[in-house]
C-alpha cells in the first residue's frame, strides 16, 4: 500500500527508537500499563509518532483499564486505516495511520463500554505524541 508519507527503512530506523520502530513499523505491542498516556488527563491532540498526523483527541479517550490508551473514536475516519489482522490465531482489526502506514494498535467493538460508539481503539502509547491544547505550534 502507498501512503502520502514515504520513508526508507533506514530513515524510519534513524528517526524512531528501537521500541517505536518495533511497534510502528513491525506491528509490535508495547508492554501493558507502560504508557503514561493510558491515564494522562492532559487535554490535547494525539498525533502519530511516525509522521505527526492528528489521530485522536483527549476528549474521546476513556479509561478502559486495558493497559493501553483507549479511545472510542478517531479524530476522523480518514485519519486511520483498518485492516484485518489474523495473527495469533484470531481475527482482529488492526489500526494504522492513513498518512504513513504506521501500526497504532487494534479496535474492538461490542465490549459494553459506556461510550457513544461501543468501540475501543486500543492504541500503543509509544505510537502517539500528545500535543497539549495550550501548546503553541511554531
Q: Domains, the chain, ranges and CATH?
A: 32-132 (2.170.150.20)
Average pLDDT, the chain: 93
Percent of the chain with pLDDT over 70: 96
The DSSP string of 92-121 is: EEEEEETTT--EEEEEEE-S--SSSS-EEE
Q: Is 66 a catalytic site residue? A: no
Is the whole-model pTM more than 0.75? yes
The one catalytic residue in 48, 97, 100, 122 is 122
Per-residue pLDDT tens over the stretch 56-100: 999 999 999 999 999 999 998 899 999 988 876 778 899 999 999
Secondary-structure percent of the chain, ordered helix, strand, coil, rounded to 5: 20, 30, 50
Q: Which carries the bigger pLDDT value, residue 138 or residue 43?
A: 43
Residue 91: the pLDDT is 80
Cα–Cα distances (Å) from 84 to 25, 102, 121, in that order, read: 17, 15, 14
Amino acid at each position: 500500500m502507498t501512503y502520502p508519507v514515504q520513508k526508507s527503512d533506514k530513515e524510519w530506523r534513524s528517526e524512531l527508537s528501537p521500541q517505536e520502530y518495533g511497534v510502528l513499523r513491525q506491528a509490535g505491542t508495547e508492554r501493558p500499563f507502560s504508557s503514561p498516556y493510558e491515564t494522562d488527563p492532559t487535554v490535547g491532540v494525539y498525533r502519530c509518532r511516525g509522521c505527526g498526523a492528528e489521530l485522536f483527541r483527549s476528549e474521546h479517550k476513556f479509561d478502559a483499564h486495558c493497559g493501553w490508551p483507549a479511545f472510542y473514536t478517531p479524530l476522523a475516519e480518514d485519519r486511520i486505516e483498518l485492516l484485518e489482522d489474523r495473527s495469533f490465531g484470531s481475527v482482529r482489526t488492526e489500526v494504522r495511520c492513513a498518512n504513513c502506514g504506521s501500526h497504532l494498535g487494534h479496535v474492538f467493538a461490542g465490549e459494553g463500554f459506556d461510550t457513544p460508539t461501543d468501540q475501543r481503539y486500543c492504541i500503543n502509547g509509544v505510537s502517539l505524541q500528545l500535543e497539549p491544547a495550550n501548546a503553541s505550534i511554531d
